[in-house]
Amino acid sequence: MTLTHYGFKEWGTITLIAAAIAGGFVWAAMWWPVVATVVVWLALVAFFRDPRGRRPATDAPNDMVSPADGKVSAVFDVEHHAAIGGPAKVIRIFLSVLDVHINRFPCDGVIATVTNTPGKYLDARSAESAQVNESTVTTLTTASGEHIGIRQVSGAIARRIVCAAHIGSRAKRGARFGMIKFGSTTELILPRPADVTSHVSVGDRVTGGVTIIATLGAPRSL
């Protein structure tokens, strides 16, 4: 099991504590507690797992792959979204504590903005949490000039958003750019909602960096 460097501090601390506890039980010849400690350690560090070898299911420029593992919790249009400065289609993905929490770019582009907004820490399963919880929005500019947004939203347990994206650097579809620690939400924000074909519905499971969740069509001619 490969672990992400985004959680080095956490899984390193967990490992040291587990080793100390298990060592104490070994010294006392208490073997069942040793087994229990190892099981708990595996469960905790598994949260920071980082699957390797994932490849996007498409290389078409207008196809968007999922920015996270999890379950689609909402698909909706808004008249104006601050992230892209206009109408948008939003695809929201809920990540439980059992899901991989690495976030990935949905398409190729250049990172235009990275904006963190302080907020609350409500349960990520509630609709309100997506509106008021702490969040970080990263926007990309594609080769065709489109603006694409990815919003990382904290949850009740997730108290830290990691975003390693840097303004001006290139983003590659499926590449890692951060994570949200423990249960959380990730949103994909697409322009021109009338020209977006969504390939997922509420309740669908998606795989970060792999599943095609939407296609952004060509602008409509006047």
Report yes or no: 121 and 86 within 8 Å, Cβ to Cβ: no
CB atoms within 10 A of CB 55: 11
If phi > 0 it is left, if psi is from -120 to 50 it is alpha, else beta; for residue 173 that is beta
CB atoms within 10 A of CB 69: 25
184 is catalytic: yes
> Which one of 184, 198, 201, 221 is the catalytic residue?
184
- Containing 20, the helix (H) or strand (E) segment is helix 8-27
| Closest by Cα among 71, 145, 54, 77 to 108 | 145
Q: Angle CA(148)–CA(72)–CA(94) in degrees, nearest 5?
A: 90
Residue count (the chain): 222
Calpha distance 68→157 (Å, rounded): 18
What single letter denotes the amino acid at residue 36? A
- Which residues are annotated as catalytic? 184
